[in-house]
Amino acid sequence: MTDAAAPTRPIILEAALDAPPDLVWRALTEPELMARWLGASDIEAKVGRCFTVRPDGPVGEAPIACEVLEAEPGRMLSYRWRATAPGEAAALDTVVTWVLEPTAEGGTRLRLVHDGFPVVLQGAIRGQGAGVSTMSAVRRRQAPDLRRRGDGRAKMSSGEVIKWAA
């Protein structure tokens, strides 16, 4: 977004991985490995490096334009994540951050923070009955299979928790 003050909210996801941080780091930063779980990429974990990711999927997808913001091998990796359309401003301008922590069992606690999703209706939602119900109706229509729990968390298939700020 062009307005730096525009409110945003993150997706935060935590996962317990049965592999040490150095191995997880490789999967996060080596193109051959990344291609197998996220998408074809020319990633290089150096601050300032621009790269793209093409998550596999249906035809018609656009590459995600990325730029490494922070890289601490084995510990933390952060990059811009922008979905763009030709000739247009960034449709989605966000930041993806991975934090790796070793566990006592020799595994890794992985934390993903995908931040920068715009909260455009904050003012309209706050205490405005009509706004809230309309938005909820929209949300239900748009994502009928979204299993949202009241406490703002949803279960991942593998038992971890995905959560988001309200």
Partner 1 sequence: MDLFDFDEAILEADILRALADPTRRAVFEQLARREMSVSELKAGFSVSQPAISQHLAALRGAGLVAERREGRFAYYRAEPQGLAPLIDWIDRYRAFWPERIDRLKDVLKDIKP
Write out the residues near partner 1 by the rule CB under 8 A: 1-3, 5-6, 9, 11, 13, 15, 17-19, 23-24, 26-27, 33, 36-38, 55, 57-58, 60-62, 64, 83-86, 88-92, 110, 112, 114, 117-118, 120-121, 123-124, 128, 130-131, 134-135, 138-139, 141-143, 146, 154, 156-158, 160, 162, 164
Q: Residue 156 is which amino acid? A: M
Please give the DSSP secondary-structure letter assigned to residue 61: P
Scanning the chain, the segments in alpha helix (DSSP H) are 21-29, 31-37, 122-125, 129-142
Scanning 78-144, the segments in alpha helix (DSSP H) are 122-125, 129-142
Q: How far is the CB of 99 from partner 1 (least distance, A)?
A: 14
Our CB check for partner 1 shows the closer of 48 and 58 to be: 58
Strand order in the sheet with 92-102: 40-41, 50-54, 64-72, 76-83, 92-102, 108-118, 8-17, 161-164, 153-155
Structure tokens given for 35: 């291609």
- C-alpha 149/C-alpha 97 separation (Å) is 25
Our CB check for partner 1 shows the closer of 48 and 86 to be: 86
Our CB check for partner 1 shows the closer of 42 and 56 to be: 56
Q: How far is the CB of 84 from partner 1 (least distance, A)?
A: 7
- C-alpha 124/C-alpha 145 separation (Å) is 25
Q: How far is the CB of 66 from partner 1 (least distance, A)?
A: 14
Our CB check for partner 1 shows the closer of 68 and 116 to be: 116
Q: How far is the CB of 143 from partner 1 (least distance, A)?
A: 5
Q: How far is the CB of 85 from partner 1 (least distance, A)?
A: 4
